[in-house]
Amino acid sequence: MIVRLRDRLLPAAPVLDRAPAIEPGRATADHYRAVDGLRAVAVIAVMVFHLREGWLPGGLTGVDVFFVISGFVVTASVAQRQGGSFGDFVLAFYARRIARILPALALTVAVSAIAYALFIPSAWLGDTIAKTGLAAIFGLSNLVLAAGDDYFSVKAAFNVFTHTWSLGVEEQFYLLFPLIMYFGSKDAGAAGPRDRRVPILLALVAASFAAGALLSATRPTIAFYTLPARFWELGAGMLLCLTRARWTPWLAGAPRVATVIAAASAALLAAAFVEPLRFGFPVPWALLPVLGTLGLIAVAVASPATPVARLLATAPCVGTGRISYALYLWHWPVYVLMRWTVGLETAAQGLVAVAATVALATLSYRTVEMPARAWQRANRHAPAAVVRAGLAVALVLAVATGGMLKFKSAFMLGGTRDLATWYPEGRYTVPPQAGCAIAKQVVPRPDGVMTILRPTGCGTPAQGGRLIVAGDSHVGAYERMLWNYAYATGREVRTYWLAGCPMIGLRQEPATGACAAFEARLADELAEVLTPADIVFLPSLRLPRYVEQWGDSGYAAAASGAPDPDAVAVARSHLRRIAASGARIVFEAPKPLFKAPPMRCADWFNATNPVCAPGFAIDRSELEALRAPILARMAAAMRDLRQVSIWDPFPILCPETTCRAFRDGRPLLFDGDHVSGYANDVLLPSFAETMEAAFAAAAPRSSAALPAR
């Protein structure tokens, strides 16, 4: 059966000798016009999806259309090449690819890096932007993103370089492509040279599809971003091109069949665009756009008079398709920059974003893409020079972009450039005296993050014991305060935290899933390592937040009524496990919340963003009502366990009848609920007094100083 399949797919004579080439400027130019039209469909789908996902829930599969087209067109561009060494083949191939991809990409990366440096705060939403941008220059951004940011996560949505992941997949594909096309075409034997590219590709496509199925089910982020799970899409386009000598005459002689295939393929593509992406992507759900694209390319090549092919070959479609690469490059940075600044919520803002994208793409196509390709054609007999120029451009761009991103705060406009005021990282602390320093150790854990701060040459604690801090991302938001506390007291500080997972949250419902597992494991771990001399501080978000950093609203409602009995039982169990060690436990009472994230609204270029509309003032009484049930549960814990106490930052951050996110022009929070670097400094005296009082209370129960560790 495999032999029959091979005989049907392989051309009767070597493809290098007889297969009809598809090249611009020849009688087959209409075929390329239709493929350009198909590019237009793909890029419009992607742009609509990124602008308003609900309008075209599967529009992202336009990228899959691009993969198939790329596999077909790139194969057609070299399939007729004859003779020459492998080195000559590779140089010529990469010269064309560099001229096609790098100039426009370099311009986009440079402009996006400048925009990022000027307008985007150094917030959690943007902490992978610089790394992604640098990786994009060398076709590696997909690997950076695969290591952390799900494509549908908010961090990816606010990263100006996220869209370069697909270019990374294609550029990594280009490392394998020359090997297949050159060595696969030569198999000297008794019967003479034979073309082995089709069976090689069949094997690779099958392996990639299997890998994609496995990864889609087990590691969906890696499946989405990486070549092993995507090669089958590009390989399908290659197979279509390499076998066209077989299917082109048959399809050209059967116009009714071509019409049916075109209609069915268009229906598959439409279904892919309107159907939301499901679990199992790219395998099996990307089969819809891949099969639809293969069918439309085949009809455009063999039967260009088919109505669908004629439609794709119309001037508007072709014109859009020819600038599709530029549209793809520019639409995402434009959208993301608007999200960070003026917003992208209204219809007017959407129109501005599309108009800006089209203008930038047209300008880029005419002033960068076309001249670069013309220069490459003029130097086609010196491909090494083209490759060297491309590498030089990439290196210069990497150095310039890296320097700009490293010193971003020097370029940034507006108040958020003052990193020490806005952000609570420990690196913004200053030791109180010469010789005082902190050694920070990061210890691997099965989940979350653990750090140990060991001060040397600093203060001497009045009593022994360590400060253990455990909770969600609000532990990280106190980093600067904890560093300064360690400086002042000389006390070791250990932190454990997992974003989104409070430690003994005291909410009405118990934690579930990963958070429940984190909480249980951490309670067990603390019970093992704590001594009676230690203090456990539990800061966490225990109220429903009003707004996320990215602007989604989830307006808090007072937690009225009795909590779920299971939640009470779980909290009591964890508290008793920790208290059994003899350590004291200090809860953080809920801090003020706000309905807009200050770091996204603090400057002239983002103050009108719709996410800022709720403002930065809220009645204290509203927040007190939200806090009351949590405070009551903390009070119950204090009655249940005499080792439990409370530190309340609320009256310090909100001393008046109206709570405000800014004090004397400086932010108390950098988003809707995490405290700023400035607030860390404001809270330090109260925090240090509370913790030292807890250590003093623990001292009589501590039989001796801490054992050596």
Tell me, what amino acid is at 540?
Answer: S
**Contact call for residues 486 and 530 (beta carbons, < 8 A):** no
Neighbours of 203 (CB within 10 A): 11
Supply the pLDDT for residue 125. Answer: 67
**Alpha carbon separation from 247 to 298, 334, 386 (Å, rounded):** 8, 42, 36
Our CA angle for 118, 123, 124, nearest 5°, is: 140
**Contact call for residues 450 and 442 (beta carbons, < 8 A):** yes
**Contact call for residues 668 and 662 (beta carbons, < 8 A):** yes
Q: Flag whether pLDDT at 628 surpasses 70.
A: yes
* CA-CA-CA-CA torsion sign (509, 514, 517, 522): negative
- What mean pLDDT comes out for the span 671-697? 94
Supply the pLDDT for residue 194. Answer: 62
Q: Flag whether pLDDT at 169 surpasses 60.
A: yes
- What mean pLDDT comes out for the span 150-158? 77
How would you class 361 by CB atoms within 10 Å of its CB: exposed for 0-12, middle for 13-18, buried for 19 or more? buried
For the domain spanning 421-590+625-650+675-699, the CATH number is 3.40.50
Supply the pLDDT for residue 578. Answer: 93
Supply the pLDDT for residue 567. Answer: 81
Q: Write the pLDDT tens digit of every residue in 537-567.
A: 999 999 888 887 766 655 555 555 567 787 8
- What mean pLDDT comes out for the span 141-146? 92
Residue in this structure with the two tokens 């009045």, named with its chain if needed:
462
- What mean pLDDT comes out for the span 87-108? 92
Supply the pLDDT for residue 21. Answer: 38
Q: Flag whether pLDDT at 2 surpasses 60.
A: no
Residue in this structure with the two tokens 């909410």, named with its chain if needed:
507
Supply the pLDDT for residue 329. Answer: 97
Binned at pLDDT 50, 70 and 90, residue 228 comes out as: very high
Q: Flag whether pLDDT at 220 surpasses 50.
A: yes
Binned at pLDDT 50, 70 and 90, residue 463 comes out as: confident
Q: Report how far residue 359's alpha carbon sits from residue 354's, in angstroms, rounded to the nearest whole number.
A: 9
**Contact call for residues 282 and 230 (beta carbons, < 8 A):** yes
Lowest pLDDT segment from 116-130, 289-303, 492-506, 672-686 = 116-130
DSSP state of 649: -
Supply the pLDDT for residue 186. Answer: 59
Secondary element (H or E) of residue 95? helix 86-119
Q: Flag whether pLDDT at 19 surpasses 70.
A: no
Binned at pLDDT 50, 70 and 90, residue 5 comes out as: very low
How would you class 620 by CB atoms within 10 Å of its CB: exposed for 0-12, middle for 13-18, buried for 19 or more? middle
Say what the pTM is.
0.84
Contacts of residues 76-85 at CB distance under 8 Å and 24 or more positions apart, as own/partner, are: 76/21, 76/22, 76/23, 76/241, 77/23, 78/181, 79/15, 79/16, 79/19, 79/21, 79/181, 79/241, 79/242, 80/16, 80/19, 80/21, 81/16, 82/16, 82/17
**Contact call for residues 342 and 299 (beta carbons, < 8 A):** no
How many percent of the chain have pLDDT more than 70?
A: 90
Binned at pLDDT 50, 70 and 90, residue 123 comes out as: confident
Residues forming a β-bridge with 611: none
Q: Are strands 493-497 and 467-471 parallel, antiparallel or unpaired?
A: parallel
Q: Where are the domains of the chain?
A: 29-409, 421-590+625-650+675-699
Q: Report how far residue 64's alpha carbon sits from residue 287's, in angstroms, rounded to the nearest whole number.
A: 9
- What mean pLDDT comes out for the span 355-373? 95
SS (H, E, C) 439-481: EEEEECCCCCEEEEEEEECCCCCCCCCCEEEEECHHHHCCHHH
Supply the pLDDT for residue 561. Answer: 59
Q: Flag whether pLDDT at 12 surpasses 80.
A: no
Supply the pLDDT for residue 560. Answer: 53
Lowest pLDDT segment from 247-261, 398-412, 637-651, 690-704 = 690-704
Supply the pLDDT for residue 700. Answer: 64
Q: Is 682 helix (H, G, I), strand (E, B) or coil?
A: helix
Supply the pLDDT for residue 156. Answer: 82
Start-to-end C-alpha separation, the chain = 69
Q: Report how far residue 426's alpha carbon sits from residue 379's, in angstroms, rounded to the nearest whole number.
A: 54
Residue 453: φ, ψ to 5°: -105, 115
Q: Report how far residue 231's alpha carbon sits from residue 371's, in angstroms, rounded to the nearest whole number.
A: 31
If one compares 316 and 405, the residue with the highest pLDDT of the two is 316
**How many residues are given for the chain?**
709
- What mean pLDDT comes out for the span 376-387? 89
Q: Flag whether pLDDT at 276 surpasses 90.
A: no
Which residues, including other chains, have CB under 8 Å from residue 493's CB and lie 6 or more apart? 452, 453, 466, 467, 469, 482, 485, 486
Residue 142: φ, ψ to 5°: -65, -35
Q: Flag whether pLDDT at 709 surpasses 50.
A: no
Q: Flag whether pLDDT at 378 surpasses 70.
A: yes
* CA-CA-CA-CA torsion sign (528, 534, 535, 537): negative
- Please give the mean pLDDT across all residues of the chain: 87
Supply the pLDDT for residue 400. Answer: 87
| Torsion of Cα atoms, 245 then 250 then 254 then 257, to 10° | -80
Which residues, including other chains, have CB under 8 Å from residue 407's CB and lie 6 or more apart? none
